[in-house]
Structure 1
Amino acid sequence: MRLKSGLLRGEVCDMKELELGEARDVAATLEAMPIQEVIDQVERTSITKGAVLLRLLSKDRSLLVFDALGPRLQADLIGAFQDAEVLDYFADLDPDDRVSLLDELPASIADELLRSLDPQEKQVTELVLGYAKGSVGRWMSPQVLLLFDDMSVAEVLDFVRNHAAEAETIYALPIVNRARQVMGVVSLRKLFIADPTLKVSEIMVRPVSVLASADIEETARWFLQLDLVAMPVVDESNMLLGVLTFDDAQDIVEQADSEDSARSGGSEPLQQPYLSTPIRKLVKSRIVWLLVLAVSAILTVQVLDIFEATLVEAVVLALFIPLLTGTGGNTGNQAATTVTRALALGDVRKSDVFRVLGREIRVGLMLGALLGAVGFVIASLVYGMPVGTVIGLTLLAVCTMAASVGGVMPIIAKAIGADPAVFSNPFISTFCDATGLIIYFAIAKLVLGI
């Protein structure tokens, strides 16, 4: 659909700048647009303009668009709304989405919004807030129907029909006993085709459930592999607390992958669309890592300073420094990226550290032997066999060292509770640069006798 208004092209900054006729035209255009295009417009503009777009939508569509946005962008938009609008948006969110939004807001605003809820909504929201960040409980929806195993299929269907609006999902229904312990799960499809006189316990299947205290990222990844619509969340006594849905698990994995991608590139994740992110946030997301890497790069300078006399005696060695440091950094990054991904998917555990080390040593040796042979031949033809020998041996040693370090560091990070992505590309590149130079000059002094 063609966008006629300057607002939709990003030219109008404030509601007051819109004339009545233009506001009506923009509102009509927005109402006619597919909802995904409206969401895209809000995500691709500034916070002020995004707030104006939401105000011009009808209440139902405005709430739907706001609900589809990420919690960080929602939090930024909150400041551009009037109090009454904020309360409407906040109250319309599901409890788990409310908690994600509250985590992004200043404490004073979060407390005020929480107090604005009616007692029942406040209770379920506080239930989710009570669980630790990063746990399943923080992401579960407590809006779940209580269906007992001694009910008939007909009774369950009647109950679901009358209370469907109160539940997060009705397509996968947990079944509990009278002590509220999870006994099974039944799909709505199975309920529809079953004999109405049967007990629901006769058609339910064994449940796949998860503890509320479990790690949310690990849970989300294996949950998605099972292709389930939802699964029960329980406590240590197997009592039903809520459900984790497929769409929430997808959001968790997408968010985790975005964080890993950003940190492996030496920046912090934005957690909101790029075009709606203020410039100061873009700077803040990058400056810390740039400072850390700049300081750590001093190690490389120090190594060069230590071996300055060696370089003076064999100036040709300086020509190969970019090749060797680049090869070491790339080899380490490849290993780190592979192992970090394997950790995220559950293919590798913390206890596998020595197995990973053994494999990466062999991989590094093979890569180093291949690259070293090529380096030896080329360098020998141009600069003589002694220099070729230095280059070949250095490539062999550097590749082995870099692959070993790159493979082990993410596991060590996981073991100490740090994000494995933090120990990926930027850190390992700097480490391999400095260590690779030490190996290079040590071999050169030994082979060339300088």
Structure 2
Amino acid sequence: MQEPGVRPTIPDITERLAAASDDEVVADLIRMARAERAVAFRLLPKDRAARIFDALGSSIASELVVDLSDRHVREIFEELAPDDQTMIIDEMPAGVANRVLRDLPEDRRADTMKLLGYSKESAGRRMSPVYSSLGPDLTAAQALTELQGQASRGVPIADAPVVDSTRGLLGVVRLATLIAADPKQRVGELPLGGARVTTDVDQELAAQTLLRSGVDVLPVVDAENRLVGVITEDDALHIDDLESDEDAALAGGSTPLRRPYLASSVFSLASKRVIWLLVLLVAASLTVGVLDAFESALESMVVLSLFIPLLIGTGGNTGAQSVTTVVRALSTGEVRFRDFFRVAFTEFRTGALLGVVLGAAVFVPVTLFAGWQVAAVLSLSLVGICMLATTAGAVIPLLASRVGVDPAVVSSPFISTIVDAVGLILYFLIAKAILGI
């Protein structure tokens, strides 16, 4: 076993291949430099190399295809499902992708090219065009025999779409339903699930639809309701992981890496963060402008400046809590734009309650330190800022979803910066009213 933080060398991983698990080999390959990884991968037996290749993720796998032009790697790539091939090709330079596509057998190339014709991050791009399907006139016994025959051709046995003679989708029949049914009962007479998505639906919505439906596969149909592919449960879980990673990165004011951290260069890490930091730097200038506008108030009562970090921190933290909660509720389908006023009112009241609690907590200590008038200013400001932050944290993601912007893009740092500026304006206005400055 390698020591934590130590990059394994080629001799190290060669000695470990026989005893190490696939997960350990994957972890070591990710830690290696790109050139070393390519050489080490050649040392793997073909059957194991195929499993490792699939587990490395699309970004690392695409680099291996670029670095290893030998037949060994091309054969491994050809064995992948078309949707997996598509994800890897998406990560390749255009010239390399075209070469790889040319090298594929004609039938496999046709399936992969079909998926590449759909827009990125759509259900059509992520579906599998190889799937089991049944006709409504088959008996349950015939259907099971048909599924067994398809399994012998490499199609996994699972819940199956039911289609008519024109490939029109009628629904999905559960495998358990087929097994429990009267062998002579026709498939069309059995209970059929109705969940489906069209090819242009966003992949995240498609994954959520499948995970909520309770079936193994989600049919993907064209505009005429003809079945063109399916999304499997494994696909849905992978998509859900990718979207969760993206939401987490955007909420933190960064762009998702789409590759393992240890396989990312310093330039790559910096480039994913710098744009957001520049945006936030410009947004933070609002706070500077507010302080400049109320400079005379600060000069007449310097003690007010002591509590600015407290107010900024509280507003930012409160807004981050709210936006994280609402974005998560939007991503899981618990909340829709039609819930706008209900969600906004809920967060408004939540902010008021939080502000009252925090204002009460600081009133006595600040009274002892700076007097009751300053304490009143601070307590009332906390109530107002908390109400503002929670409401903004709810309303802005909902509006973003309405106009087709990913709610996670409206990240916590961005909302925090806006709340800071508006919160300070509220603070100084309350101070002027109570202190008469």
1:192-271 aligned at under 5 Å gives the runs 192=179, 196-203=183-190, 205-271=192-258
Distance in 2 of aligned mates of 1:67 and 1:287: 32
Match of 1:137 in 2: 124
Contact 1:46–1:275, Cα closer than 8 Å, also in 2: no
1:368 corresponds to 2:344: no
Distance in 2 of aligned mates of 1:105 and 1:26: 26
How far does the alpha carbon of each residue in 1:113-166 deviate from its partner, in whole angstroms, 9 at most, with x for none? Answer: 122212211111122122222221111101023432223444434433333254
1:157-176 aligned at under 5 Å gives the runs 157-164=144-151, 166=153, 168-176=155-163
Structure 2 vs 1, CA of residues 390 and 139 (structure 1 numbering), >3 Å: closer, same or farther?
same
Q: Which amino acid aligns with 2:314?
A: T
Distance in 2 of aligned mates of 1:54 and 1:188: 39
Contact 1:172–1:185, Cα closer than 8 Å, also in 2: yes
Match of 1:96 in 2: 83
Match of 1:116 in 2: 103
SS in 1 for 2:67: coil
Distance in 2 of aligned mates of 1:152 and 1:217: 35
Aligned counterpart for 2:333 among listed residues 346, 351, 356: 346
1:301 corresponds to 2:298: no
Contact 1:175–1:182, Cα closer than 8 Å, also in 2: yes
SS in 1 for 2:307: helix
Contact 2:8–2:28, Cα closer than 8 Å, also in 1: no
Could you tell me how far 1:169 is from its partner in structure 2? 2.9
1:175-190 aligned at under 5 Å gives the runs 175-190=162-177
Unaligned runs of 5+ in 2: none
Contact 2:327–2:397, Cα closer than 8 Å, also in 1: yes
Contact 1:143–1:242, Cα closer than 8 Å, also in 2: yes
Could you tell me how far 1:427 is from its partner in structure 2? 0.2
Match of 1:63 in 2: 50
Could you tell me how far 1:37 is from its partner in structure 2? 2.0
Distance in 1 of aligned mates of 2:135 and 2:154: 16
Unaligned runs of 5+ in 1: 13-17
Contact 1:372–1:393, Cα closer than 8 Å, also in 2: yes
Moved more, 173-182 or 45-54: 45-54
Moved more, 105-114 or 225-234: 225-234
Moved more, 234-243 or 164-173: 164-173
1:10 corresponds to 2:40: no
Distance in 2 of aligned mates of 1:199 and 1:376: 74
Match of 1:382 in 2: 369
Aligned counterpart for 2:17 among listed residues 17, 30, 33: 30
SS in 2 for 1:53: helix
Could you tell me how far 1:48 is from its partner in structure 2? 2.6
Could you tell me how far 1:27 is from its partner in structure 2? 4.1
1:274 corresponds to 2:261: yes
Aligned counterpart for 2:37 among listed residues 50, 54, 63: 50
Could you tell me how far 1:333 is from its partner in structure 2? 0.9
How far does the alpha carbon of each residue in 1:268-298 deviate from its partner, in whole angstroms, 9 at most, with x for none? Answer: 1111211122222111112222222222222
Could you tell me how far 1:75 is from its partner in structure 2? 2.2
Contact 1:185–1:207, Cα closer than 8 Å, also in 2: yes
Identical amino acids, percent of aligned pairs: 43
Distance in 2 of aligned mates of 1:3 and 1:330: 39
Distance in 2 of aligned mates of 1:400 and 1:132: 40
Could you tell me how far 1:203 is from its partner in structure 2? 4.4
RMSD value over aligned CA atoms? 2.3
Could you tell me how far 1:96 is from its partner in structure 2? 0.8
Structure 2 vs 1, CA of residues 310 and 248 (structure 1 numbering), >3 Å: closer, same or farther?
same
Structure 2 vs 1, CA of residues 279 and 84 (structure 1 numbering), >3 Å: closer, same or farther?
farther
SS in 2 for 1:171: coil
Match of 1:447 in 2: 434
Structure 2 vs 1, CA of residues 303 and 103 (structure 1 numbering), >3 Å: closer, same or farther?
same
1:393 corresponds to 2:380: yes
TM-score scaled by length of structure 1: 0.90
SS in 2 for 1:253: helix
Contact 1:148–1:176, Cα closer than 8 Å, also in 2: yes
